[in-house]
Every structure is written in structure tokens, then in C-alpha cells.
Amino acid sequence: MLLIANIGAYLLETLEPGLLIGLALWPLGTAQAFPPAPVGAHFQPWQLVTYAFLHGNLLHIALNMYGLWLFGVRMEQVWGSRAFLIFYFVCVVGAGLTQLLFTSLSGQIYPTIGASGGVFGLLLAFGMTFPEERLMLVFPPVILKAKWFVVLYGAIELWAGVTGTQAGVAHFAHLGGMAFGYFLIRYWRENPPALR
């Protein structure tokens, strides 16, 4: 259902550019920062969820949906559908909150879109649940255990976020999704969710 919803939103964006601008995650105080702001270019609480269904281009949605499918299917089998959805949206909202904090501190004014925060949370969950399973990097084509794959991706995101590499990519949102996912998994290990 998440794959269908994301692809459907992307098709709407493609058919009518700007239609969903109010669903992107806008930084706090955007409307005051560069008047006249585009219609809908101001923060609303629901954007902490809706931004995750929007994507900038075909490569963006393809990579996110591949990650959602690759890691999501396995984690949904482990947790069940309801717990999986709770985990995914905790990561999405956590990534959004992290991004809002970062943009408030840095003063950067641009909207955030994409399911990456939830996908990075699922990547972390996969690595914690199946630490010895082997995954292959696309470039360079190296096979790593899942636990090292997660550590490597987290380190790359932290480095890219701190150095400002790949401008326009919400690296701190990715890290926020991983962090919120980590704390929820730790909580669930002590208090297993009774949701299937």
C-alpha cells in the first residue's frame, strides 16, 4: 500500500506540477523568509507525514521505493503489518522533526520531500534484525554484512551532512529516521508490540 501511495502521488506531481506543494515539509517561518512565498509554502503539522509521499524525480522515487521494498518486506514479515506501519511512520515523523531542527539552526529555506527518512529507518531495522546477512553495494560492487552496511551508510550521511556535500539532500533527515528507528527498536525489545 505504501508503494502504491508513493507512486500515485508521484504520478499526480508529474501530471500537475505544483499541485501538491503544500504537502512538502516546509521549514518553520518560510512564509516570512522570502515574501511573496509560493502558495502553500509554509509549515503545517500534517507535512511531517505527507512530505514522505512526494519525490523530486524518477530516480528519487525509484531508489526510495526499491529500499522500501527491499527492507520493508522483510521487516513487515518479522513485525506484522500494523507494527511495521507504526515503525515506518515513527521514522518518517522523526526524520521530519530532525530536518525542521536542522533547517531552523542553519537558516536554510527549502522544502523537504521523499520517503528516505522512513527507508533509512528500515535499513537500520534490517541491520539490527539480520546483522549477518550479506548485502552488496552497487558502487563499488562490494559485499558487506548488513550491520556494516548500516554503519557505512550512517557514516556517509553524517559526513555529507556536516560537510554540506550533495546540497539539496536532507542528510540529517536520513540520520533522524535512523535515530528514531533505533530508539523504537530498543523500546520494542523490552516491550514487544502486540500488533500483527
> pLDDT tier at 138 (50, 70, 90 boundaries)?
confident
Look at residue 195 and tell me whether its pLDDT is greater than 70: no
63 part of a folded domain: yes
Look at residue 160 and tell me whether its pLDDT is greater than 80: yes
195 part of a folded domain: no
User: SS3 string of the chain?
Assistant: CHHHHHHHHHHHHHHCCCCCHHHCECCCCHHHHCCCCCCCCCCCCCHHHHHHHCCCCHHHHHHHHHHHHHHHHHHHHHHCHHHHHHHHHHHHHHHHHHHHHHHHHHCCCCCECCCHHHHHHHHHHHHHHCCCCEEECCCCCCEEEHHHHHHHHHHHHHHHHHHCCCCCCCHHHHHHHHHHHHHHHHHHHHCCCCCC
196 part of a folded domain: no
- Supply the pLDDT for residue 35: 54
60 part of a folded domain: yes
15 part of a folded domain: yes
User: For the chain, what is the domain count?
Assistant: 1
- Supply the pLDDT for residue 33: 54
* Most confident option among 20-24, 116-120, 191-195: 116-120
- Supply the pLDDT for residue 162: 85
CATH code for the domain of 82: 1.20.1540.10
43 part of a folded domain: yes
Look at residue 13 and tell me whether its pLDDT is greater than 80: yes
Over residues 31-75, the pLDDT tens digits come to: 555 555 565 678 899 999 999 999 999 999 999 999 999 999 999
What's the rounded Cα separation, in Å, for the pair 194 and 175? 27
- Domain with 6, as residue range(s), is 2-190
Look at residue 194 and tell me whether its pLDDT is greater than 90: no
Q: 41-70 b/e with 16+ CB inside 10 Å = b?
A: bbbeeebbebbbbbbeeeebbebbbebbee
User: What rounded mean pLDDT belongs to the chain?
Assistant: 89
149 part of a folded domain: yes
Read off the pLDDT of each residue in 111-132 and give the average, rounded to a whole number.
96
Over residues 23-33, the pLDDT tens digits come to: 999 988 765 55
